[in-house]
Amino acid sequence: MDARVRTLAGRQADVLARWQLEDEGWTAGKIDHHVRRHEWRLIHPGVYLLNHAPPSRRQLWFAAALTTRDSVLSHGSAGACYGFYRFDRGYEVVTRPGTGGRRRHGLLVVCRSRMLQPDLTRHGGIPITTAARVLVDLARGLDRKRMGRAFRESIRLGHTSARQVRRTLERHPAHRGTRVLRMLATRYATIPYRRTRSDAEGLALEILHDAGRPTPLVNVSIRDEEADLVFMDARAIVEIDGPQFHRFREEDLRKEAVWRKAGFVVRRIPSDAVYDAPEALLDICPE
């Protein structure tokens, strides 16, 4: 294989498209010869996986985005690629320029958009819509709870901001389902999600914001020990315990002792309660 093609394949997780090989000057005969001789596997028409291991999700994302020159990973597939939305339907979703509705082609769903260019980027080398555009595209199919979680996670992971989402909404005012997203963008502009380590922490900030409670410091060091939510004026710390809490109980008790010695009241709440019983969070947080 040519060195340039080998380098290209390495950048694309061992996935190559026929049109890319043609751009490198390969003839149809040469391509077909390599497909047969090296047993390249066909993932989509004209898109090949060069190794024989089961394809990884990243390889499937690359393969979808390389089906045509102007395809980009989008919607649920893009949200999963960014890591803020769970999407595993047995197919991937791409968007291409043009008009028309969604169409399924085997393991690929193709959407069309007349305004795609401002929302294009790459993530891990994969052609993809921006995280803000993904949220706009997902808005029509998500309820407020799922939309809020995806939005919070996208901010927490550093992929977008409330401001970027508002700008994207301005470019796509006719998208269905964006009323909730627009409302969330206004609220989330003032909540420090990027300081959070989990969605439960992000939701806790949202609950406190909606209740008019003071905004705590998030994941800051108190006597060299990082605390989840810190209310400095009230000298209070609230720890949100994830599923792994019982595995590190001794370490958590040690940190609690350090904070109490520094004059802080320490309270704990399971992460599940943040989702299922927000009033329990308000009960242990200062007013």
Domains of the chain: 3-55 (no CATH), 62-188 (no CATH), 195-284 (3.40.960.10)
Per the model's pLDDT, the better-predicted residue between 232 and 177 turns out to be: 232
- At residue 241, the pLDDT reads 87
pLDDT at 250: 85
pLDDT tens digits along 246-286: 567 888 899 999 999 999 999 999 999 999 999 999 999 99
pLDDT digits (tens, 9 = 90+) for 128-171: 999 999 999 999 999 999 999 999 999 999 999 999 999 999 99
pTM score, whole prediction: 0.88
**For the chain, what percent of residues have pLDDT higher than 70?**
99
**Run of H or E including 23:** helix 18-23
Confidence of residue 203 (pLDDT cuts 50, 70, 90): very high
Q: Say whether pLDDT at 122 is over 90.
A: yes
DSSP one-letter string for 59-104: HHHHHHHTSSTT-EE-HHHHHHHHTSS---SSSEEEEEES----EE
Which pLDDT score is estimated for 244?
64
Q: Span 22-39, mean pLDDT?
A: 93
Question: Can you tell me the mean pLDDT for 64-81?
Answer: 98
Nearest C-alpha neighbor of 34 from the set 48, 23, 44, 20:
48
Main-chain dihedrals φ then ψ at residue 230, nearest 5 degrees: -120, 120
- Mean per-residue pLDDT over the chain, rounded: 94
CA distances from 59 to 22, 47, 106, 143 (A): 21, 11, 17, 30
Q: 154 to each of 130, 193, 263, 272, how far by Cα in Å?
A: 11, 9, 35, 20
Looking at residue 196, its pLDDT comes to: 93
Query: Exposed, middle or buried: residue 192 (CB in 10 Å: 0-12, 13-18, 19+)?
Result: middle
> Taking 70 as the threshold, does the pLDDT of residue 45 lie above it?
yes
State mean pLDDT over 25-44: 93
Distance CA 252, CA 149 (A): 27
3-state SS class at 243 = coil
Q: Give residue 207's identity as a one-letter amino acid code.
A: I
